[in-house]
Amino acid sequence: MLRAVALSFQPSFDDLSAPLIDVTFCVLDLETTGGSAADCEITEIGAVKHRGGELLGTFQTLVDPGGPIPPFITVLTGITETMVAKAPTIAEVLPSFLEFMGDSVIVGHNVRFDLSFLRAVVEKCGYPPLENRWVDTAALARRLVRDEVRNLKLGTLAAHFRSPVQPVHRALGDAQATAHVFHTLLERAGTLGVTNLDDLLQLPTARGASHYSKIRLTEDLPRRPGVYIFRDRHGHPLYIGKSTNLRGRVRQYFYGDQRRSVTNLMRELHDVDHIVCDSAIEAEITELRMIHAHRPRYNRRSRPPKSSHFIKVTDETFPRLSIVRVPRQDGLALLGPFRSRRSAQEVVMALWDAMPLRRCRKAHPGGGPCAAAQLGVARCPCDGSLSAAEYRSVVDDLLKGLGSSPSLLLDPLVERMHRLARERRYEEAAVLRERHNLLARALETRRIWETLLAAGYLVAEDKSGNSVAIDHGRLVGTGAEGSVVATSRTTDTPSQEMEVPPSVEAAEEARLLWKWLDRDAARLVEVAGTFTVPIDPINILRPASTRAA
């Protein structure tokens, strides 16, 4: 028996976004001895194959089920045991039918029933599982014409759409009627902007009919990376997002997302704008900049803070930590930015836990030692026993920890966390772990910023040939295969550059660029300055259950 048939087919992204006019559809119908693929058999197969509205081929055959046909099935279909007595078995028919079907998109009315039988015989005959995409005309009709017909039976739809072939429970005739219904439904779907395969596959799941008509706003969106902007009737941005496939991502908002925020967003939506980008990283940066510029009210998670906060090591005889909003270069060091004062305060407490830094504001002795000095957790000048030279060693370790040796600050926190865990003080250990991670991320941001500043202008290329130009921590151009179109160049001189990002937006952009450089194994094509990273790692702690997983 011939069995050299290509079965396994996994649609690619390009296949799914193909125009419907270029997609091959195989409309099929099966007649069976009953309703369950587990204990019933196929008696007839009928199929028609179309592409672009043109009939490519027809397949029809009776099948010997290898057993009796129930009388009620004979009454329903007209297929008798005499008719199938000399018909081929399913094992003999299957190879030629699978070859006929190929990698086309399967179409049927209540097609899950037909697929259950087809998948069962494919498995029984030892073929790989079917991976063809499929479309159910009953589900399409439910979405598109439910209010026009009394029910969604194939006969009702065929009559409604004036099919030249009426279904009579014979495989080929039913397949031809289904094909007519399917093409008529495609015309209806086209009025909603369904012009590609991925649109068609998602259409039956679309919900929220009160706003579904607005899907027409997505008709002109390309299937390319970029940024999309939802606007209200006044033209103000409601929501800004990014995607590697603008059309596919935006249309998903109309396909069953039941979140209250999305429902409200769809209610206010009046227009959809977009910006096409050359790469995913350009889309990420563009989205970030636009969110910070416009502050859309539906971008709640990524909405920028009203002001940034920084931790400053003050420049005085006994330096201390101070939380400030303006990052002036009038101290010994800066750390940040932080999205909230609370986050900055947690990092200050982490630094206090790591080193016996001065906590009180008394610059000179008098009035007795402060509480932290009395408890022995801080070295403060308030008790009169500490000299500036002695305290300087603590400050030197702090500055080293903020720079090339973060372990000086992080290791004491880890040791203390383990001690608390051994003592079963788990809640305190968890709080300390969160403080450790906040500090670690702040140190990592500082390191990334310093590295990108030292590099100055650089061009990097990933393994896919996408190139980016970065100038002092800011994206200034993108391109392909080493060709970069720079949009701007930073005019700041090194003496004016800060040791930390001047804002949350700058910090987030630097982290996105660093993630791209690290994740995509980017190759440096050009570096104006120096590109070096300290070898001392900065580790983020995970809960024990996460590490075990």
One domain, residues 65 and 178: yes
One domain, residues 339 and 471: no
One domain, residues 88 and 225: no
Look at residue 546 and tell me if it is in a domain. no
Q: Report the number of distinct structural domains present in the chain.
A: 4
Please give the Cα distance from 407 to 414 (Å, whole number).
Answer: 10
Look at residue 547 and tell me if it is in a domain. no
Where b means 16+ CB within 10 Å and e means fewer, 431-448 reads: ebbebbbbbbbbbbbbbb
Instruction: Write down the pTM of the prediction.
Output: 0.75
One domain, residues 277 and 143: no
| Residue the block writes with tokens 């739809």 | 157
**Among residues 142, 165, 198, which one ends one of the domains?**
198
**CATH code, 62:** 3.30.420.10
One domain, residues 441 and 453: no
One domain, residues 434 and 452: no
HSE at residue 66, side-chain half, CA atoms within 13 A, is: 8
Query: What is the structure's pLDDT at 207?
Result: 58
Look at residue 536 and tell me if it is in a domain. no
Look at residue 461 and tell me if it is in a domain. yes
Look at residue 302 and tell me if it is in a domain. no
Tens-binned pLDDT, residue by residue, of the chain (549 aa): 233 333 333 444 344 568 899 999 999 999 999 999 999 999 999 999 999 999 999 999 999 999 999 999 999 999 999 999 999 999 999 999 999 999 999 999 999 999 999 999 999 999 999 999 999 999 999 989 988 999 999 999 999 999 999 999 999 999 999 999 999 999 998 887 788 898 898 888 765 546 777 888 888 899 899 999 999 999 999 999 999 999 889 988 887 666 778 888 988 999 999 999 988 999 999 999 999 999 999 998 777 888 899 999 999 999 999 999 999 989 999 999 999 999 999 999 999 999 999 998 866 666 678 888 888 888 888 877 788 899 999 999 999 999 989 999 999 999 999 999 999 999 999 999 999 999 999 999 999 999 999 999 999 998 888 899 999 999 999 987 656 665 554 544 443 478 999 999 999 999 999 999 987 678 899 999 999 888 888 999 987 654 444
**Among residues 151, 175, 198, which one ends one of the domains?**
198
One domain, residues 43 and 159: yes
One domain, residues 157 and 28: yes
**CATH code, 250:** 3.40.1440.10
Look at residue 401 and tell me if it is in a domain. yes
Helix, strand, coil % (nearest 5) of the chain? 45, 20, 40
Look at residue 483 and tell me if it is in a domain. yes
Contacts of 420 (CB under 8 A, 6+ apart): 426, 428, 429, 432
CB atoms within 10 A of CB 196: 20
Query: What is the structure's pLDDT at 219?
Result: 84
| Residue the block writes with tokens 């008509």 | 213
Look at residue 361 and tell me if it is in a domain. yes
Residues annotated as catalytic (active site), given as ranges:
169
Q: Which burial class, exposed, middle or buried, applies to 54 when counting CB atoms under 10 A from its CB (0-12, 13-18, 19+)? A: exposed
Contact indicator for 37, 49 with CB cutoff of 8 Å? no
**Among residues 383, 412, 445, which one ends one of the domains?**
445
One domain, residues 342 and 481: no
One domain, residues 390 and 477: no
One domain, residues 392 and 482: no
Domain around 384: 309-445
Question: What's the first-to-final CA gap in the chain, in angstroms?
Answer: 48
One domain, residues 432 and 470: no
